[in-house]
């Protein structure tokens, strides 16, 4: 797997967006590198609930907003 363009690392996990804008996670190794080969989908139907689910949703929202801001910054905007 290639390294995604947008990702956030926090608390031993990487939160990333794939090429289609779908969020996924990956574990962070002891040396601080991300193990992209062990990436996983966020499965809210199996046990991800409560505060843990809120945290993941919050991190994905921050990541999505950062990606939007970055793309907006890199595109020229013309205002009439």
Map out the domains of the chain as residue ranges: 6-74
Which of helix, strand or coil describes residue 27?
strand
Confidence of residue 30 (pLDDT cuts 50, 70, 90): very high
Q: pTM for this structure?
A: 0.79
- Rounded to an integer, the average pLDDT of 43-66 is 84
Whole-number pLDDT of residue 13: 93
Q: Which long-range contacts (CB under 8 A, 24 or more apart) does 21-26 make?
A: 21/64, 21/67, 23/60, 23/63, 23/64, 25/56
Confidence of residue 51 (pLDDT cuts 50, 70, 90): confident
Query: Half-sphere exposure of residue 38, counting CA atoms within 13 Å on the CB side?
Result: 9
């Amino acid at each position: 797997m290639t390294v995604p363009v947008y990702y956030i690392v926090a608390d031993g996990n990487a939160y990333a967006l794939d090429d289609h804008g779908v969020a996924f996670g990956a574990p962070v190794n002891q040396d601080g590198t991300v193990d992209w080969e062990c990436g996983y989908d966020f499965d809210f139907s199996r046990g991800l609930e409560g505060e843990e689910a809120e945290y993941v949703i919050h991190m994905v929202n921050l990541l999505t907003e950062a990606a939007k801001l970055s793309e907006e910054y890199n595109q020229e905007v013309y205002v009439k």
